Amino acid sequence: MKKNLDASWDTILSDIKEKLNDAEFYKWIKDLKILTFESNIITLKADNKFIKSWVEDKYLTKLKSALKEFYHLECDIKIVLSDITHQKKAPVQGNSQIEITKDDTDVDYYSVQLNKDYTFNTFVAGKSNQFAFSVCKSAAEGFDKLNNPIYIYGDVGLGKTHLMHAVGNQIRLNFPKKRVFCITGQLYKDEFLTSLKKMQMDSFKEKYSAIDVLLFDDVEKIVGGAGSTMEEFFFLFSKLYSDEKQIIITSNALPEESIGMDKRLKSRFAGGLIAHIGVPSVDEKVTILKSFTTQYGRTMSDEILYYLAENIKSDSTRDLIGAANSAFVQSKFHNVELTIEFLQNNISSLLIKRDKTLTPQDIIDIISEYFRIKLVDLKSPSRSKNIVIPRNLAIYLIYKNTPSSLKGIGEIFNRDHSTIKNSISKIEQDIENNDLYTVNTLNELSKKMKIFSAK
Ligand code: ADP
Ligand code: MG
């Protein structure tokens, strides 16, 4: 019975995760375990009081409405503590306040905001993030004045938060006594203003000044609003910096281009190591997708991964992963194979719109120009290698990119449908075996097709 309950709860969690684009919410609820479901009350177990209050304050309403929306389940949710011994530690007051007891275990409470899934192992390094990746790796191996502060900037969804948490997780492993604290600019501002209002500035300052590693996400969010958040942050920054504590900051802009940011802070940031994260190339996108699909057991063919990487409208890696995930879940839900046609029909709003649809003749023209082969040769019975390869590629691309049937393609190439099928299988096999020549050529050809159809 309990096993069934666990399994249902796991299903609920994974459904909620698929449907809610809210990593923060999922992060907090995924470690709650289900105890009972009786008389329309779900009882969940939290590992400590801090998690309990945090979820109660911030996510309970959301969780309830998700259950209602997805399952028409109207129920109450109770959260209890799993272990009485935890209750004395980490007393919590207010919503975003984290009060910490000053004993050895407080390192755990400082690190409670770290996302355990964001590690170096799950981060794909490439041209677009190489420098940021290297400085973060080295910061995780040990403190070096020259590596401080690290300022990572770039557009949304490109991996800044992931990389910063990876440093935090690695430092926790390498230096278990260090207090690694991670906070977003927005939460810091909220917490500062609440502490000010409640006249709890002493404990606020005490908590922050005890940090060994400060991971400060989306620093641009401290700009604006009432009060002197930036002033307070300037003092904190200066203190930690002069105490030789590691500081990592992420932002959406270069220090000098940060609108509204305090001048002194801008100049402090500019004195650090500045690392940009850019948009990944198609190959990097494919590697990121492979890492994601392997990590979450969402197997997809290279063909689909390349198609997604090449055709995704958004530059954000978050959206790229989201698109792959959505396509995978939908194909499972409909119980059909994940093909390019399926992507075109089911996630078209996420993909680049082609102004012009390609015809079989367009593809033949692209191929004959690329390989410098005459059209008659492509359609001829010749079995010479330098004709067979382009012909197979043309057949494959026509089959994948136009609504032509095997029979229809056969008519173009003067062949029967089983020969056409063999040509397609040959290319599919090459892709599966990761045959470099075929994969690279297909890459080049699809770039040309993309340019052609955008004309
Ligand atoms: P940002 O903080 O820049 O907005 P995130 O760090 O939140 O971006 O990344 C968005 C999503 O994309 C996360 O799920 C993250 O794991 C993933 N991601 C981004 N870049 C990479 C990468 N290089 N390797 C693996 N996953 C990545
Ligand atoms: Mg982020």
pLDDT tens digits for 319-332? Answer: 999 999 889 888 88
Mean pLDDT (the chain) is: 86
384-394 average pLDDT score: 95
Q: Output the CA angle 276-281-285, nearest 5 degrees.
A: 100
Distance in Å, CA 162 to ligand 1 centroid = 5
The residue segments making up the domain with residue 340 are 282-350
Give, in order, the Cα–Cα distances in Å from 79 to each of 6, 33, 95: 16, 10, 16
Contact predicate 120/137, CB 8 Å: yes
pLDDT value of residue 129 = 97
Lowest mean pLDDT among 63-72, 134-143, 229-238: 63-72
Q: Is 199 left (phi over 0), alpha (psi -120 to 50) or beta?
A: left
For 214-252, give the DSSP string.
Answer: EEEE-GGGGSSSSS-HHHHHHHHHHHHHHTT-EEEEEES
pLDDT tens, position by position, 210-256: 999 999 999 999 998 766 999 999 999 999 999 999 999 999 999 99
371-381 average pLDDT score: 92
83-100 average pLDDT score: 38
- Tokens in use for 144? 């070096």
Residue to mutate (ligand 1; options 120, 284, 317, 321; most atoms within 8 A of CB) = 317
For ligand 1, is residue 322 a contact (CB within 6 Å)? no
Distance in Å, CA 218 to ligand 2 centroid = 6
18-28 average pLDDT score: 70
391-402 average pLDDT score: 93
Which amino acid, 181?
F
- Do 177 and 269 belong to one domain? yes
For ligand 1, is residue 162 a contact (CB within 6 Å)? yes
Atom of ligand 1 nearest to the CA of 162: 6
| Percent of the chain topping pLDDT 90 | 58
From CA 279, how far away is CA 127, in angstroms rounded?
A: 9
- Do 222 and 346 belong to one domain? no
From CA 258, how far away is CA 265, in angstroms rounded?
A: 10
Residue to mutate (ligand 1; options 158, 183, 215, 251; most atoms within 8 A of CB) = 158
pLDDT tens, position by position, 139-191: 999 999 999 999 999 999 999 999 999 999 999 999 999 999 999 999 999 99
pLDDT value of residue 262 = 94
| Percent of the chain topping pLDDT 70 | 89
- Pick 189 or 12 by higher pLDDT: 189
Question: How many folded domains does the chain comprise?
Answer: 4
Give, in order, the Cα–Cα distances in Å from 122 to each of 117, 165, 166: 8, 11, 9
pLDDT value of residue 402 = 84
Distance in Å, CA 317 to ligand 1 centroid = 6
Distance in Å, CA 288 to ligand 1 centroid = 9
Note whether residue 245 is domain-resident. Answer: yes
37-44 average pLDDT score: 75
Contact predicate 350/323, CB 8 Å: yes
Cα 117 to its chain centre, rounded Å, is: 10
Atom of ligand 1 nearest to the CA of 163: 6
Distance in Å, CA 122 to ligand 1 centroid = 10
CATH of residue 292: 1.10.8
Q: Is the per-residue pLDDT at 97 higher than 70?
A: no
pLDDT value of residue 70 = 66
pLDDT value of residue 182 = 93
- Pick 25 or 419 by higher pLDDT: 419
- Which residues, in sequence order, are CB contacts of 181 under 8 Å at separation 6+? 110, 111, 113, 208, 211, 213, 214, 215
| Domain end among 276, 311, 336 | 276
Note whether residue 190 is domain-resident. Answer: yes
For ligand 1, is residue 160 a contact (CB within 6 Å)? yes
278-290 average pLDDT score: 94
Nearest to 160 by CA among 238, 260, 276: 276
Banded pLDDT at 293 (limits 50, 70, 90)? very high
341-362 average pLDDT score: 85
Which amino acid, 35?
L
- Do 239 and 325 belong to one domain? no
Cα 74 to its chain centre, rounded Å, is: 31
Residues found in the chain: 455
DSSP state of 123: P
Residues that place a CB less than 5 A from ion ligand 2: 161
Residue to mutate (ligand 1; options 122, 161, 162; most atoms within 8 A of CB) = 162
Which one of 111-120, 283-292, 301-310, 352-361 scores highest in mean pLDDT? 283-292
Q: Is the dihedral of CA 9, 14, 15, 17 positive or negative?
A: positive
Distance in Å, CA 279 to ligand 2 centroid = 15
- Pick 262 or 332 by higher pLDDT: 262
Note whether residue 431 is domain-resident. Answer: yes
Contact predicate 315/282, CB 8 Å: no
Note whether residue 125 is domain-resident. Answer: no
Note whether residue 124 is domain-resident. Answer: no
35-49 average pLDDT score: 78
- Do 249 and 338 belong to one domain? no
CATH of residue 20: 3.30.300.180
Using DSSP, state whether 21 is helix, strand or coil.
coil
Atom of ligand 1 nearest to the CA of 320: 12
Note whether residue 246 is domain-resident. Answer: yes
